[in-house]
Chains A and B, each alone.
Chain A
Amino acid sequence: MGFENLLQGMSVAFTPLNLLACFVGVLLGTVVGILPGLGSPATVAMLLPLTTSMNPTSALIMMTGIFYGAKYGGSTTSILLNLPGEPSSVVTCLDGYQMARQGRAGPALGIAAIASFVAGTFGVVALMLVAPPLSQFALRFGPPEYFGLMMIGLTLVVFLGEGSPIKSLVSCVIGLLLSIVGADVFTAESRFTFGQVELLDGIDLIVASVGIFAIGEILVNIEQGLSTTLLRVPKGIRNLLPSRQDLKDCRFAFLNGSAVGFFAGTIPGGGATIASFLSYAIEKAVSRRPEKFGTGVPEGVAAPEAANNSETGGALVPLLTLGLPSSNTTAILLAGLTVWGLRPGPLLIQENPDLFWGLVASMYIGNVMLLILNLPLVPLFAQIMRLPMYVMYPLIAGISMVGVYSVANSVFDLWMLVGFGILGYAMRKLGFPAAPLILSMVLGRRLELALRQSLMMSQGVLSIFFTRWLSALLIATAVLVLLIALARRAFKR
């Protein structure tokens, strides 16, 4: 494994057909990433039947292009409209939208594009270098270890919330409760569905996050009477791109996001959403100005954007080395590998070196394509902020509704959207932070699954979490993180 293999991959990726497949993939990915609801899993699933006649390498290059291209596009509406295009872009709303409100939409979009490029490239390099050993490590994760991992995720609530820690915890518990709505995974017993068949599948994260952030934002702005205010957009291309100081401020965030995202991607169930929350929390914890987070700091955009892009490289590790999917999109890609006549598993790379190294090389090329596609569009997208707010309101409402409807083609989801909009408005007015609610919605189902599987394994004995070294280590880390966070808060007072 090394430079020769990469050269071999380049010779595969640079054929006209594979270059075209890569370009079509990243372009489609960017477009679907912008629209909330229609994420990469749906697009890859829709296009899979069309690739059966393609050669496996080109098909995989195109489908993977959609996967990482969607991560690029997801940040655009988060920054401009407070409307997360992908669940993993929810965190980008926190600082990205505030930057846009301050007339810095261009730099925010530029930082998102650069972070995506840096992290995407980091993810590919890491995929190339550490795929096999990391995949063996990820295999050590059983239910108790997942539970420990989810506990670490939940302790992030303390870092994410501003103001009252009690209100952060209330948001967190409400998120956990929302995550368990629907049919129970073990017994199919319906929980908190109140007779609504549409709720049996649970509450989709995109419906909740678009409602709370986008619709909630419309209601708050209307109450504050921002209707006549045009948001500032500075003139001149130089003012529309990140400054040298912005990039300097983001140095650690690029690195932190890239590393956290890749690691989270390698663990089945880790996912880009968790990675983006985790990197944001780490960035805030180590920052010299944590109190500024949420008010529009570039690091608050760079860290989550880097994490959700680097996660793509990480997610391909268990898929290509073990044949294990770690997310919805990689599960569909796994189906694709079978459809294209390949045998996913530990021998995939050995038996198909052209496919693996061609894919790795195409991801380098795809990341460059995405940067070239996205950076010139920054000034164009930033002009959206010039629209008067009375045009923005129906525009945001319309995009939110189309996006949410596209999740399951259900009008019921639109009712939920309005409901979550009202909840988001009430939370903002009453000082309950929204980020802990969304984070715990992401973690809730997996946390419960891990908890119950572990207790089934041990026949109800709690010591299973402490007798396995990795699980004990993870839970101890969660407790330590929580204590440090609480001590820091108490010390500040």
Chain B
Amino acid sequence: MKRADIVSGLVVAAAGLLIMQQAATLTYRDEFGPGPGLLPYWLGWILFALAVIQVALAVRSGGEPSTDSVSNKGRVLVVIGGFVAMVAAIEAIGFIASFGLLSFFLVYVVERRSLPRAAAVAVALVLGFLLVFRVFLPIPLP
């Protein structure tokens, strides 16, 4: 965790600085009292300070190396890609079609099940969603 703590600490510290810089463009104080910039400015400072402490603690202490394999992280990236593609596709082909495709993608590509099984899961889920959200609960779908 040591390296991860240092990297995440540096990212959070950078975020703290960015927030302070953005907050500095907001009104800090106006004629009625504190303005919209007051809280984010100080929260940015606190975030930066906490991140520096985290990095310092991580540098001082020893840590265990990560046991995550690269291939597992690759699967996560593929799934994130699937979610992004689904949301991008919703406006073009609608929720039901893109949800069916995502289901098929998750079962066939990510989970490596057989083609008929993946198709069956996708069709069953789509029909289930249509039944619940179109027939029983008239809820607007994306």
Contacts and interface: CB of A to CB of B under 8 A. Distances in A.
Contact of B99 (A170, A401, A432): A401
A398 B87 contact: no
Contacts of B90: 411, 414
Interface string A209-245: 0000001001100111101000000000000000000
B142 A411 contact: yes
B72 A224 contact: yes
Interface string A392-436: 011101100110011001010011001001100110011110000
A397 B91 CA distance: 17
A425 B121 CA distance: 25
A191 B47 CA distance: 17
Contact of B129 (A390, A398, A426): A398
A390 B106 contact: yes
B99 A452 contact: no
Interface string B20-57: 00100011011011111011100110110011011001
A38 B140 CA distance: 11
B107 interface: yes
A219 B111 contact: no
A448 B53 CA distance: 26
Nearest to A187: B36
Contacts of A192: 19, 22, 40
Contact of A397 (B75, B102, B113, B122): B102
Given A219-B80, A401-B95, A452-B34, A38 B139 contact: yes
Contacts of A335: none
Given A394-B102, A451-B34, A222 B140 contact: no
Interface in A458-475: 459-460
Given A170-B12, A173-B50, A394 B80 contact: no
Contacts of B44: 177
Given A390-B121, A418-B80, A166 B53 contact: yes
B76 interface: yes
Contact of B141 (A405, A415, A429): A405
Best-buried of B54, B137, B142 by chain A (most CB within 10 Å): B142
B140 A406 contact: yes
Interface in B85-142: 86-87, 90-91, 95, 99, 102-103, 106-107, 110-111, 113, 121-122, 125, 129, 133, 137, 139-142
A192 B110 CA distance: 36
A394 B1 contact: no
Contact of A223 (B35, B68, B125, B129): B68
Contact of A177 (B27, B32, B43, B107): B43
B33 A459 contact: yes
B60 interface: no
Given A177-B40, A390-B107, A223 B75 contact: yes
Contacts of A246: none
Contact of A456 (B33, B73, B111): B33
A109 interface: no
A191 B141 contact: no
Interface in A148-180: 164, 166-167, 169-170, 173-174, 176-177, 180
A31 B27 contact: no
A184 B36 CA distance: 6
Contacts of A21: none
Nearest to A37: B139
B27 A402 contact: no
A166 B57 CA distance: 10
Nearest to B74: A223
Nearest to B90: A411
Contact of B125 (A189, A394, A415): A394
Contacts of A180: 39-40, 43
Contacts of B80: 219, 418, 421-422
A373 interface: no
A418 B87 contact: yes
Nearest to B136: A31
A421 B47 contact: no
B107 A394 contact: yes
B26 A191 contact: yes
A455 B87 contact: no
A70 B31 CA distance: 44
Interface in A183-215: 184, 186-187, 189, 191-192, 215
Contacts of A187: 27, 30, 35-36
A35 interface: yes
A391 interface: yes
A395 B72 contact: no
A173 B43 contact: yes
A483 to B, nearest CB: 19
Given A176-B43, A180-B39, A189-B36, A430 B5 contact: yes
A70 to B, nearest CB: 14
B54 A222 contact: no
B79 interface: yes
B142 A405 contact: yes
Contacts of A224: 72
Interface in A28-43: 31, 35, 38
Given A390-B121, A398-B129, 12 more contacts: A180-B40, A186-B36, A187-B27, A187-B30, A219-B80, A223-B73, A227-B111, A398-B103, A401-B99, A402-B139, A432-B8, A451-B39
14 contacts: A169-B50, A177-B44, A186-B35, A187-B27, A219-B76, A222-B79, A223-B73, A390-B113, A394-B102, A397-B102, A401-B86, A414-B142, A430-B5, A432-B8
Closest 10 pairs between A and B when the two form their complex, measured CB to CB? A394-B103, A184-B36, A456-B33, A390-B111, A405-B142, A223-B72, A414-B87, A173-B47, A418-B83, A227-B111
